[in-house]
Amino acid sequence: MDFRLDDGWQIRPIGGNTGMAYVGTKEQEKLFIKRNTSPFLAALSLEEITPRLVWTRHISTGDTLTAQEWLNGRSLTRGEMKDGRVAALLTKVHGSNVLKKMLRQVGGCYVFPEDLLASYFRGLSSSLRQHPLLKNVANELRSYQPKFDHRDYSVCHGDLNHKNWLLSDSNRLYLVDWESATLADPAMDLSMLMCQYVPRKDWKAWLTTNFEQSLKDTFQQRIAWYCRLSLLLSIKHHCERGHFIEMNQDILKLADISKKQDFI
């Protein structure tokens, strides 16, 4: 798509991408444009979780364009993902009643433990289904599912890849790409981040440093459950895409977690 709005904005795909992200230019101005993004973006902008929302417009094709300020910056490195500012921004997201109210208003879905388990088993290959370790872990997770009142669920990002964190040149940190946002147990988000980016030996220190509730047994039990499930889902993902080195690395992580009685 390459089009011009009536007021002179020229919109082109970013990096030749024909998907949903564009750069908008008008004389010396520059904006980040997305097509048909969720109205939830307005609340994220208000809470300063994402770059500032400049305008939203409906165009003749029936699409909706949203424009955000263009910020020069970079994605976080894998090593930076365990920094305190990442944990602080996640705490802000999980604790925001504004975000929770807005996501419910725009039709955000609740995701429960049984939903995540069902997504793991859905279309699971026979080789993974019969793998002794994966089979045992999946059965354990099915037998014990964390109890956490859905009224205490928070907005969860759902895809905390380091590429979805933007550090601006002015040293402001933002979390972007909210297409996977749900209402869920915040332990789900934290477990994904821990499994991908925090060394196993540092889990206890990282949690106790950044999250007050980490001392509660029930919180640790929920983290333990979601960490195992996060690894199962990652193993399935890598297997489906033929990324067998990454798949085996996650299997080794899961084996290490499963043999330790003191999870945290």
CATH number of 195's domain: 3.90.1200.10
64 belongs to a structural domain: yes
Which of 70, 97, 113 marks a domain boundary?
70
- Rounded-to-integer distance, Cα 132 and Cα 124, Å: 14
What local confidence, expressed as pLDDT, does residue 260 receive?
67
Per run of 10 residues, the mean pLDDT along the chain (length 264 residues) is: 64 66 84 87 95 88 87 96 96 96 95 96 96 96 93 95 96 94 96 92 90 80 94 96 96 88 58
- pLDDT of 17 reads 44
pLDDT, residue 116, reads 95
pLDDT of the residue at 16: 45
User: C-alpha angle 99/193/50, rounded to 5°?
Assistant: 35
Active site residue 159: yes
Pair 103, 234 in one domain: yes
Catalytic residue (one of 7, 63, 149, 159): 159
Q: pLDDT value at position 6?
A: 61
Last residue of a domain, one of 70, 88, 105: 70
For residues 203 and 129, membership in a common domain is answered with yes
From 16, 41, 70, the end of a domain falls on 70
Whether residue 161 is found in the same domain as residue 42: no
How many structural domains compose the chain? 2
Q: Are residues 64 and 112 in the same domain?
A: no
Are both 95 and 193 inside the same structural domain? yes
Domain that holds residue 203: 74-259
